[in-house]
A and B are shown apart, each in its own frame.
Chain A
Amino acid sequence: MEPTVFVPTDLYVMLSAVMFVMGAMGVLLRRNAIIIFMSVELMLNSANLALVAFARQWGQVDGQVFVFFVMTVAAAEVAVGLALIVAIFRARKSINIDEMHEMKG
């Protein structure tokens, strides 16, 4: 069945840019390590959306293959990131990054 409405690529890219900026703002403004981490994931997914939209526009699968790799990498990153956050929480009972100043100079 042919799609009845064709959404132009520009709109997808604009949406992905908005997601990217939201993610970046989250990283820069929030202080909770888990929220920062979620914001980074949002940024990765904004790139994924852009890649899929571009892949459709060019009529190739390269962009979609790229997305699979990004998702795999993001999953690995989640595992490592959460483990590190747990390690910090055990030691300090807090995951506020402003309280991480064991080292100075």
Chain B
Amino acid sequence: MDFQTVDWAASLLAILPEILLTILAVVVLALDAIWPESRRRKLGVITALALFGIALIMLIFSAPPEGELADQLLLGGMIRYDILTQIFRTMVLIASALTCLISVDFARLGRRGEYYALIIIATIGASLMSASADLIMAFVALETTSISLYMLAGFLRGDERSAESGLKYFLFGAFASAIMLYGLSLLYGFTGQTNIYLLAEGLTSGRIGDLPVLVAMIMIAVGFGFKVSVVPFHFWTPDVYEGAPTPITAYISVASKAASFALLMRFFMAVFPSYDAVWVQMLAVSSALTMTLGNVLALAQKNIKRMLAYSSIAQAGYALMGVVAISAQNGAGMAAVTFYMFMYTLTNLGAFGVVVLTSRATGSEAIADMAGLSRRSPALALAMTVPLLSLGGIPPAAGFFGKFFLFNAAVDANFVWLALVGVINAIVALYYYLMVVKVMYVDRSADEEKPIAISASYRWALALSAFGILFLGVIASPVYNWALEAGRGLLF
């Protein structure tokens, strides 16, 4: 494969979103320094609009190059710009824009400029993760996202829970990346290559025994398992999600998770195609355990953020089902994961957006304190109900199609037992999602006369999420076909 000659025009176009994001981060920091305190509140809205703008610019002006793998490997093979990259980039850009919108009224954030700049830097990392085609690039992108998120998780100064959340995330995260890095260094040692598309040839040449390759593979799987929080690497999730600032919890649960899924799929497809008998089984068992454990533990939660944390573990288990279905080799598994993460981005950001507002109004994150929400603010109750229905997989919300595509892909790949576990889990999960709806609509509270004010940025964010969910739930085919194209691009 010849991709060592650098085509500058195509290369710069391929990293256009990252270039614009870098400029945006500098501009936000500069505005924070120049502007007086009273105007800094606008920073969140400006950042969000700029992020939407960057997503649009990317979709309009920088289409992925057509043709062979060698045409898509750019910047000396550091990144691969294909449709998968494009769709996951769109996802992380939307996720970070919505995160900025739901951060506007979040109290106790201190220096706003630094906060938004860190979100932008985490987004650069996530966006590069979905594009990386090289061990070095993958590691640096992964760490760019992780290190910014460690800071953001511990961002609330003087809040013990936030500091504890940041430190726990940091210690577990650094441990997992160190294990993953050792796996990457072994892969380099076996083949002398850092490009993931050249690695596979070296691994199958027969010079290396199966056992060392499996050791490296398991080490790398541990790193990914931590990032997407699947069993048995999920234990950090509830504490980190509960203690972090709520918008950041939302961001960690969608953007960092989505980008990790993109890299996971690309990596395992490219590097370990000849070992798929092992890793597909490994991921299938992990998927079944993840959704079961996540759902069972979510049933008992009293805190809404903690419940959504366990729910996000369970959701990662469902999505992993699509990665398992990769073995069917028709692209449907990857398309299902991509569609699922797309709808999950809109869904979880909507749910956490409502949590920001209700916990500010009631001063509590307990589910019981959401009682009477439908009378205090019917719009807010509706904006929470739609994401909850989507998480539960009830039509007409997008989660229905998301789960349908995943179960379908699993059955096509002869993992009927896994699809059955998934269906049973989806039914169990309905209980705790609908319980929140019941609390909001049926339970009474003493504060029912006090309406909850919703400022403009939240109205836009919540409306966007709710309409997106309903739109994808009614007309799923455009996004699904886009995802299918992305999935087929990974098969070669």
Contact = CB atoms under 8 A, between A and B. Distances in A.
The answer to whether A and B come from one shared complex is: yes
Contact of A92 (B158, B160, B175, B184): B160
A contact residues, range? 35 or more
A84 B240 CA distance: 13
B135 A88 contact: no
A15 interface: no
B64 interface: no
By DSSP majority rule, is chain A's interface helix, strand, loop, or mixed?
helix
A80 B171 contact: no
B186 interface: yes
A84 B166 contact: yes
A1 interface: no
Contacts, number: 129
By DSSP majority rule, is chain B's interface helix, strand, loop, or mixed?
helix
Contacts of A33: 167, 171
A105 B185 contact: no
Contacts of A102: 160-161, 164, 243
Contacts of A81: 150, 170-171, 174
Contacts of B243: 102-103
A69 B181 CA distance: 12
A66 B179 contact: no
B2 to A, nearest CB: 17
A80 B147 contact: yes
B151 interface: yes
Nearest to A62: B194
B160 A91 contact: yes
Contacts of B257: none
B32 interface: no
Contacts of B143: 73, 76-77
Interface residues of B, number: 44
A92 B164 CA distance: 10
A46 B189 CA distance: 13
Contact of B163 (A50, A63, A66, A91): A91
A43 B163 contact: no
Given A46-B182, A66-B188, A88-B163, A76 B306 contact: no
A63 B188 contact: yes
Interface string A60-101: 101101100110010011001101110110011000010010
Contacts of B166: 84, 87
A62 B189 CA distance: 11
Interface in B194-218: 194
A105 B306 contact: yes
Contacts of B303: 105
A100 B185 CA distance: 33
Nearest to B184: A47
A87 B242 CA distance: 18
A63 B192 CA distance: 8
A72 to B, nearest CB: 8
B154 interface: yes
A50 B186 contact: yes
Contacts of B161: 102-103
Interface in B136-168: 136, 139-140, 143, 147, 150-151, 154, 157-158, 160-161, 163-168
Contact of B182 (A50, A60, A73): A50
Contacts of A36: 171, 175
Contacts of A69: 136, 139-140
B188 A62 contact: yes
Contacts of B139: 66, 69-70, 73
9 contacts: A27-B175, A62-B193, A66-B139, A69-B140, A70-B139, A80-B151, A87-B167, A103-B243, A105-B238
Given A54-B185, A81-B171, A105-B238, 7 more contacts: A27-B171, A44-B181, A63-B185, A63-B188, A84-B154, A88-B160, A97-B171
